[in-house]
């Protein structure tokens, strides 16, 4: 294996390690988001989502550099891949973290959906009550004579 190919594989391993770290941070943020949803802390949730978005952008940047290197890695023989098993391990760990994030994110989205439905239902009920009160208020005379008379 040439020095260039070896350097490429080392760089790929480094990039995959950074990617794994970023995905771990995303998992931590997603776990925190679950807690924030439970507390109905929408402001903190929005901040957390913005942080997650920045991490995703960093990962996209890493992918731009790592994709060509990964293609070189996948074209290696089985024996060469075994010499650089850390690459496969990093890739597998990253996939596990991504799956965990996906499951947590799906649960969070379901929680948000349920909370939204509950709030919509509550708003509709209050709106219906207001309409009922509005109808009653219209049937009560409100002429100035009525208020000016002393009884």
Q: Which residue has the higher pLDDT, 21 or 132?
A: 21
Gap between the Cα atoms of 62 and 15, Å rounded: 6
Residue-range domain boundaries for the chain: 3-138
Q: pLDDT category, 19, cuts 50, 70, 90?
A: very high
Percent of the chain at pLDDT > 70 equals: 84
The torsion angles phi and psi of 41, rounded to 5 degrees, stand at -95, 85
Half-sphere exposure of 13 (CA within 13 A, CB side): 14
pTM: 0.76
**Region 19-36 average pLDDT:** 96
What pLDDT does residue 108 have? 94
Query: Over 60: is that where the pLDDT of 148 sits?
Result: no
Query: Over 60: is that where the pLDDT of 146 sits?
Result: no
Q: Residue 76 has what DSSP assignment?
A: S
What pLDDT does residue 67 have? 92
E strand or H helix at 141, and its extent? Answer: none
The runs of H, that is alpha helices, within 75-143 are: 78-83, 85-139
For tokens 């009884």, the residue is 151
Percent of the chain at pLDDT > 90 equals: 57
Q: What is the 3-state secondary structure (H, E, C) of 32-54?
A: HHHHHHHCCCHHHHHHHHHHHHH
For tokens 């009160």, the residue is 133
80-117 pLDDT per residue, tens: 888 888 999 999 999 999 999 999 999 999 999 998 89
* Assigned CATH topology for domain 3-138: Methane Monooxygenase Hydroxylase; Chain G, domain 1 (1.20.58)
What pLDDT does residue 6 have? 82
């Amino acid at each position: 294996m040439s020095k260039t190919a070896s350097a490429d594989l080392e760089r790929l391993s480094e990039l995959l390690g950074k990617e794994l770290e970023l995905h771990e941070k995303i998992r931590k943020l997603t776990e925190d988001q679950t807690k924030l949803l439970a507390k109905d802390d929408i402001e903190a949730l929005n901040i957390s989502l913005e942080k997650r978005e920045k991490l995703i952008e960093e990962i996209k940047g890493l992918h731009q550099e790592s994709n060509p290197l990964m293609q070189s890695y996948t074209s290696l023989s089985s024996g060469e891949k075994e010499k650089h098993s850390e690459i496969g391990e990093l890739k597998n760990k990253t996939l596990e973290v991504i799956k965990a994030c996906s499951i947590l994110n799906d649960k969070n989205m379901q929680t948000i959906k349920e909370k939204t439905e509950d709030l919509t239902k509550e708003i509709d009920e209050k709106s219906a009550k207001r309409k009922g009160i509005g109808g009653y208020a219209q049937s009560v005379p409100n002429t100035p004579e009525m208020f000016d008379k002393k009884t």
